[in-house]
Amino acid sequence: MTNRTPDLKGMLLSELEELVSELGQPRYRADQMAGWLFTKGIQDISEMKNLSKAFKESLASRASVTRSKVVRAKRSAIDDTEKLLIEYTDGARIEAVILTDDERHTGCISTQVGCRFKCRFCATGAMGFRRNLSPGEIVEQVLRLQKRLDPVRLNNLVFMGMGEPLDNYDALLKTIRIANAPWGLSIGARRMTVSTAGIVPGIRRLADEGLQINLAVSLNAPTQELRAHLMPIARKYPLDELMGALKHYAQTVGRLVTIEYVLMKGVNDSPEMATMLGRLASGMLAKINVICYNEVKGARYKAPDNETFTSFITSLRRQCPTVVRRISRGSDIAAGCGQLCVLPDTK
Ligand code: SF4
């Protein structure tokens, strides 16, 4: 973590209120602080201009504010996608992406520096796990993207960047609560999506939080055998348990679950696989997003040709009507699904 003292950017309003009360200040000071932290996105306590110098000094003795900087930004030449390399004060670096689609401005957010799950097709998995991000660091990441877009508002968040969000559950949940709150980032719960590789207990826990968050699962294989090969996490949480958890989520939250399926040439792209995938999803509140594999340098997999892609979609639609053929965004700047990673030369 970047800070040893409590991080104001990772605090709920109730926690800010508790802190100001301990420091002998009226409750409304917490509202003022929330405005500076989450609307203005300040990087230092001294920037809270309407607080007295003495109060800011006592605040600084008890807490700190996470900072970050954009080290590099790359804009796609083929669409409006922009990828940012963001560095925290301890030198940890992550990537985050802004996707723009007419009025829709989506931040693709990282929750960990690297990832421990080693999915075979994923660049983040190949870099290994460094550390979790704290709630304040994830909120700060959203604020960095917002600053980049100003005065346009970031109005969607997908927790689909580096890392497995449900492997950093408490930080994820706190971030969602801060992002969702009117005193925080004011982003509607239905405009946030958590994407998981299939952490079954995390899915069940999220279903029972009483939030209207969208859930996406990176499925990528219609059989346990192939899934366990592509995504080692499936050995711990087998496909039948995962499908049970997804049904529970859809029923409890009352929202469609998105099944993400990355098509890899000769691996999971046959019409038989499409039929099996359709059967898996039939009878549950789900839509299936099919996307072509984004080739990464030195990767062992390839994208299928257009004809194979089309016949896969056609076979799948016979079983499950809610299929979306997704276009990969920002693939020329390695900002697509499974492409985010921080190489050793960039720390
Ligand atoms: S796909 Fe997700 S869970 Fe799998 S290695 Fe990549 S970041 Fe981790």
Rounded Cα–Cα distance for residues 298 and 287 (Å): 32
Whether ligand 1 lies within 6 angstroms of the CB of 119 is answered as: yes
- In the prediction, which pLDDT does 326 show? 80
Q: What residue type is assigned to position 52 of the chain?
A: S
Say if CB 312 and CB 66 are below 8 A apart.
Answer: no
Whether ligand 1 lies within 6 angstroms of the CB of 115 is answered as: yes
Query: Residue 62 Cα, ligand 1 centroid: separation in angstroms?
Result: 36
Q: Please state the φ and ψ torsions of residue 157, each to the nearest 5 degrees.
A: -125, 135
- In the prediction, which pLDDT does 78 show? 82
Helix H or strand E encompassing 17: helix 13-22
90, 41: one domain = no
Nearest residue (CA) to ligand 1, atom 7: 163
Here the CATH number for the domain that contains residue 45 is 1.10.150.530
Tally the residues of the chain: 347
49, 106: one domain = no
Catalytic residue annotation: 95, 337
- In the prediction, which pLDDT does 323 show? 86
27, 120: one domain = no
Q: For residues 224-234, b (16+ Cβ closer than 10 Å) or e, as one string? A: eebbbebbbbb
The parts of the chain modelled with pLDDT lower than 70 are: 1-4, 296-298, 328-347
Please name the residues in contact with 311: beta carbons below 8 A apart, sequence gap of 6 or more.
Answer: 271
Q: What is the DSSP string of 143-163?
A: HHHHHHHTTSPP-EEEE-SSS
Q: What is the DSSP string of 57-105?
A: HHHHHH-B---EEEEEEEE-SSSS-EEEEEEETTS-EEEEEEEEETTEE
Please name the residues in contact with 204: beta carbons below 8 A apart, sequence gap of 6 or more.
Answer: 245, 248, 249
- pLDDT tens track for 28-46: 999 999 999 999 999 999 9
- In the prediction, which pLDDT does 164 show? 96
Please name the residues in contact with 337: beta carbons below 8 A apart, sequence gap of 6 or more.
Answer: 160, 260, 262, 291, 294, 328
Whether ligand 1 lies within 6 angstroms of the CB of 163 is answered as: yes
Mutational pocket test of ligand 1: of 97, 111, 129, 164, the residue with most ligand atoms within 8 Å of the beta carbon: 164
53, 181: one domain = no
- In the prediction, which pLDDT does 346 show? 42
- In the prediction, which pLDDT does 156 show? 96
79, 44: one domain = no
220, 262: one domain = yes
- In the prediction, which pLDDT does 197 show? 95
Rounded Cα–Cα distance for residues 277 and 144 (Å): 38
Which residue is listed with tokens 């030449």?
77
126, 28: one domain = no
In angstroms, what CA-CA distances link 5 with 36, 39, 55, 61, 341? 19, 22, 17, 9, 29
Here the CATH number for the domain that contains residue 262 is 3.20.20.70
Look at residue 2 and tell me if it is in a domain: no
Query: Residue 61 Cα, ligand 1 centroid: separation in angstroms?
Result: 38
- pLDDT tens track for 163-179: 999 999 999 999 999 99
- In terms of residue numbers, what domain contains 146? 68-346
Q: How many domains does the chain have?
A: 2
Query: Residue 149 Cα, ligand 1 centroid: separation in angstroms?
Result: 27
- In the prediction, which pLDDT does 266 show? 96
35, 155: one domain = no
Whether ligand 1 lies within 6 angstroms of the CB of 124 is answered as: yes
Whether ligand 1 lies within 6 angstroms of the CB of 125 is answered as: yes
Query: Residue 165 Cα, ligand 1 centroid: separation in angstroms?
Result: 10
Nearest residue (CA) to ligand 1, atom 5: 125
- In the prediction, which pLDDT does 342 show? 64
Say if CB 45 and CB 297 are below 8 A apart.
Answer: no
In 3D, which of 235, 209, 289 has the Cα closest to residue 119?
235
82, 202: one domain = yes
Rounded Cα–Cα distance for residues 281 and 258 (Å): 10
CA atoms within 13 A on the CB side of 129: 15
